[in-house]
């Protein structure tokens, strides 16, 4: 009688008594490993992946159960040899006895409700088939991993684990194994990040519960003082009277000049010659000027007050002018406010919110209303396709629309929301490179000849900044889209387009020494802040993976 032969899988199995402490690359090369992540050998050899295999200790009963499972799993059509048979490490679970993992397929799943739920760290779930290589890292959102189901029996006599392993799919081979290892590395990185987040949340809850601590009482005292200050700055609408809080002529001239040399040099809102003519008329006869211009003039002075002195001594007066503008917009006959002056007032109130810090965290809401009001008035359509109008009115519509687009973009970045406007929503052309003196309110006048880009005008800086709008708008839409799940190559592509737009803008600004320091720095800041918003989500990964080093370098520099 011949002796019974053991199955190939059982006889070929080797028991490893000592755990593997070196990384897989060093074990394969048979070199010393310093056990870092990544290890020194992988760093010197420029290896993109440095992974470790976690081996769970199993008892005698589970090892026999695993041998039976390995013998019967080929009956279901899954080979257990080659690259597909490599065991991937499981998520880190804290439980008394580790449960062995098996990957035999089955259409039937069972769970034991009596099995205690282990305490686990939130991890990222991902499918290995979604990526094609080590460089195709996407931006992942953390989710809580459900507890693994216990081992259950399925028809056919095989025993399997009801929880699926990370990266397991129907495509086997070396490519699937590499993709699974990539996903596993990302899961381990996210586990560490989520663990720190859980500790911060626990600390915050503990701080909220301990309301008798000195830190909590001090914070509440600061909040109460802030509420009192804000309440004193907010006047009642019954006491608001437009145009009754005017400074002296000398102070008013200084405030208007401060506004014209700062914000008006970057974002065109008013026509300076027309504004100055009406301004002179007001000081000659205050009653002979209409109320909308008084509101417009007060808002210009309020923005200029932030640059009047370093202590912002006119803060109370600037806030008073802001509420007078708000009162004017809330008066009856709202449709009568839908004029060019009304849009200018809305734009100036948006800037005043930020310069004087008057509820600037809610400016995105007002920016959305401003965009819709402008679209309702037809500013999103180029004047060439509308009724015949003077060159002055056509250019003012283009300038105001460009400023409204900038407001919508910047407020979306501040609020972390979508810009609510795209390039397909308008066909208005960029403003022409003209000085204000070239625009005259005359129906019979011909359109003035625009100056070339090498000639400095009052529109040089606004046009240079407006040229970067498509790139900045695309980055803002991608960063603030909660469905965005693009790979890292897409981030690099957006970064390259934004960098090219920034270089063209800087070349144009450097060619004009007449540009003020404020205008140059303002235009640069409006563009540079997009780089941080684009690469900031990659920073946690860049601290551990050299593939993302470019994002770390960009945000740090």
pLDDT of 487 reads 80
Q: Are the CB atoms for 104 and 168 separated by under 8 Å?
A: no
pLDDT of 306 reads 92
The two tokens of residue 172 are 């086997």
Q: 487 forms bridges with which residues in the sheet?
A: 138
- Of 234, 236, 256, nearest in space to 247 by CA: 256
With both helix axes pointing from N to C terminus, report the angle between 214-233 and 174-209 in degrees, rounded to the nearest 10.
80
Please tell me the distance from the alpha carbon of residue 440 to that of residue 391, in angstroms, as a whole number. Answer: 7
Whether the CA torsion 30, 32, 34, 40 is positive or negative: it is negative
Please tell me the distance from the alpha carbon of residue 338 to that of residue 355, in angstroms, as a whole number. Answer: 25
Burial 261-277 (b: 16+ CB within 10 A, else e): ebbbbbbbbbbeebbee
Angle subtended at Cα 155 by Cα 150 and Cα 159, rounded to the nearest 5 degrees = 40
DSSP class of residue 159 equals E
The two tokens of residue 422 are 């795209």
Torsion on CA atoms 17, 20, 21, 24, rounded to nearest 10: 170
Tens of pLDDT along the chain (557 residues)?
Answer: 444 444 444 444 555 567 778 888 888 888 888 888 788 888 888 776 788 876 543 444 444 444 444 444 433 333 333 333 323 333 333 333 344 444 443 333 333 434 433 333 333 333 333 333 333 333 333 333 443 444 444 444 444 444 344 344 444 445 667 777 777 777 777 777 777 777 777 777 766 666 667 777 888 888 888 888 777 776 666 667 888 889 999 999 999 999 999 999 999 999 999 999 999 999 999 988 999 999 999 999 999 999 998 889 999 999 999 999 999 998 888 888 899 999 999 999 999 999 998 888 889 999 999 999 999 999 999 999 888 889 999 999 999 999 999 999 999 999 999 998 999 999 999 999 999 999 987 767 788 889 998 899 999 999 999 999 999 999 999 999 888 776 888 899 999 999 999 999 999 999 999 999 999 999 999 999 999 999 988 888 888 888 888 888 888 87
The two tokens of residue 464 are 């240079």
pLDDT of 344 reads 97
Q: Domains of the chain: which residue ranges?
A: 53-198
pLDDT of 556 reads 82
Predicted TM-score (pTM) of the model is 0.62
Please return the burial class of 72, using the count of CB atoms within 10 Å of its CB with bins 0-12, 13-18 and 19+.
Answer: middle
Angle subtended at Cα 256 by Cα 252 and Cα 259, rounded to the nearest 5 degrees = 140
Query: What are the helix and strand counts (H, E) for the chain?
Result: 19, 4
Please return the burial class of 259, using the count of CB atoms within 10 Å of its CB with bins 0-12, 13-18 and 19+.
Answer: buried
Sequence-distant (≥ 6) Cβ neighbours of residue 185 within 8 angstroms: 49, 51, 545
Sequence-distant (≥ 6) Cβ neighbours of residue 211 within 8 angstroms: 217
The two tokens of residue 151 are 């081992």
Residue 151, φ and ψ in degrees, nearest 5: -70, 135
pLDDT of 295 reads 96
Helix (H, G, I), strand (E, B) or coil at 140: coil
Please tell me the distance from the alpha carbon of residue 89 to that of residue 80, in angstroms, as a whole number. Answer: 17
pLDDT of 210 reads 67
Please tell me the distance from the alpha carbon of residue 265 to that of residue 238, in angstroms, as a whole number. Answer: 36
- Of 199, 205, 200, 191, nearest in space to 94 by CA: 191
**Radius of gyration of the chain, Cα coordinates, nearest whole angstrom:** 33
Q: Where are the alpha helices (DSSP H) in 58-173?
A: 60-72
């Amino acid at each position: 009688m011949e002796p019974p032969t053991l199955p190939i899988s059982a006889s070929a199995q080797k028991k490893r008594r000592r755990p593997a402490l070196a990384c897989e690359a060093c074990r394969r090369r048979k070199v010393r490993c310093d056990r870092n992540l990544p290890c020194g050998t992988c760093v010197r050899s420029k290896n993109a992946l440095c992974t470790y295999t976690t081996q769970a200790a199993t008892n005698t009963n589970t090892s026999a159960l695993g041998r039976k499972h390995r013998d019967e799993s080929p009956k279901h059509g899954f080979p257990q040899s080659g690259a597909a048979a490599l065991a991937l490490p499981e998520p880190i679970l804290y439980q008394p006895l580790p449960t062995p993992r098996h990957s035999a397929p089955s259409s039937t799943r069972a769970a034991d409700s009596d099995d205690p739920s282990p305490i686990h760290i939130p991890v990222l779930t991902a499918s290995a088939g979604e990526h094609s290589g080590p460089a195709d890292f996407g931006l992942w959102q953390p989710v809580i991993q459900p507890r693994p189901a216990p081992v259950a029996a399925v028809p056919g006599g095989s025993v399997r684990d009801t929880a699926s392993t990370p990266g397991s799919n129907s495509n086997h081979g070396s490519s699937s194994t590499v993709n699974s290892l990539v996903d596993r590395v990302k899961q381990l990185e996210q586990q560490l990040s989520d663990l720190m987040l859980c500790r911060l949340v626990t600390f915050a809850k503990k701080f909220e519960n301990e309301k008798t601590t000195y830190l909590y009482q001090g914070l509440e005292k600061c909040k109460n003082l802030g509420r009192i200050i804000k309440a004193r700055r907010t006047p009642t609408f019954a006491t608001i009277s437009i145009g009754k809080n005017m400074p002296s002529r000398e102070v008013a001239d200084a405030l208007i000049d401060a506004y014209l040399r700062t914000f008006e040099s970057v974002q065109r809102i008013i026509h300076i010659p027309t504004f100055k003519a009406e301004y002179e008329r007001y000081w000659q006869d205050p009653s002979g000027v209409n109320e909308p211009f008084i509101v417009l003039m007060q808002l210009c002075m309020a923005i200029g007050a932030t640059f009047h002195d370093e202590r912002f001594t006119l803060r109370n007066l600037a806030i008073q002018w802001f509420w007078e503008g708000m009162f004017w917009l809330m008066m009856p006959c709202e449709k009568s406010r839908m004029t060019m002056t009304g849009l200018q007032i809305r734009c100036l109130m948006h800037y005043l919110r930020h310069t004087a810090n008057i509820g600037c965290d809610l400016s995105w809401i007002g920016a959305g209303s401003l965009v819709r009001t402008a679209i309702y008035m037809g500013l999103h359509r180029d004047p060439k396709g509308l009724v015949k109008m003077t060159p002055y009115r056509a250019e003012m519509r283009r300038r105001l629309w460009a400023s409204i687009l900038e407001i919508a973009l910047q407020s979306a970045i501040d609020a972390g929301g979508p810009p609510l406007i795209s390039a397909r929503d308008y066909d208005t052309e960029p403003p022409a490179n003209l000085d204000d003196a070239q625009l005259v309110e005359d129906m019979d006048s011909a359109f003035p000849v625009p100056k070339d880009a090498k000639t400095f005008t009052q529109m040089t800086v606004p046009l240079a900044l407006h040229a970067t709008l498509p790139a900045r708008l695309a980055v803002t839409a991608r960063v603030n889209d909660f469905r965005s799940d693009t790979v890292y190559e897409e981030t690099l592509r957006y970064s390259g387009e934004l960098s090219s737009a920034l270089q063209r803008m800087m070349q144009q600004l450097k060619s004009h020494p007449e540009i003020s320091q404020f205008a140059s720095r303002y235009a640069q800041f409006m563009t540079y802040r997009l780089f941080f918003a684009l690469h900031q989500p990659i920073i946690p990964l860049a601290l551990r993976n050299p593939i993302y080093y470019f994002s770390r370098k960009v945000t740090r520099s």
